[in-house]
Amino acid sequence: MYSWHETQSRTKTTAIPKVYEQESIKFFMQTGGILPVFNSVRSSVYRCRNSSLPVIPHNLTEFDIPDDWKKDNLGGDFLQINVGTDARLLGFVSQCGLERLAEAKHWNADGTFYTAPPLFSQAYTIHSLTGKFWVEI
């Protein structure tokens, strides 16, 4: 059995259906074989991906961000702000994002309570106007 899920689903941050599609094409091109339809392996693939994710903490004193989650895809600092213990403020932005903000003439900020993780009150995003489009930083 082709066990792409043991490596790809743990290491990639790409959406699992997209990874499955890419791996299915690669498998077919290399072997001529066909993988099962995604829905038949969905739960095991997500279970495999979830096994490599940090445990969701129950309170902020248990909340610890693993070092590899503090870096962006290029190895640069991504976690820029990490203050407080009882009330926590985290700020994530890449060096590229900071440069984009510095160059932008217009910013747009938006806060939402609906999508905030359970231990947090609000998720707040900043966008910059790039050409004719607002780009999330």
- One digit per residue, the tens of pLDDT, for the chain of length 137 reads 445 554 554 455 678 888 888 888 888 888 888 888 888 888 888 888 888 777 778 888 778 888 888 998 888 999 999 998 778 889 999 999 999 999 999 999 999 888 888 888 889 999 998 888 888 88
Picking from 116, 121, 130, the residue whose alpha carbon sits closest to that of residue 88 is 121
Residue 32's pLDDT is what?
81
Residue 2's pLDDT is what?
47
Residue 106's pLDDT is what?
92
Q: Is the dihedral of CA 15, 20, 21, 22 positive or negative?
A: positive
Please tell me the pTM assigned to this model: 0.62
- CA–chain centroid gap for 68, Å, is 12
Residue 11's pLDDT is what?
52
Residue 91's pLDDT is what?
92
Residue 46's pLDDT is what?
84
The one-letter amino acid code at 21 reads E
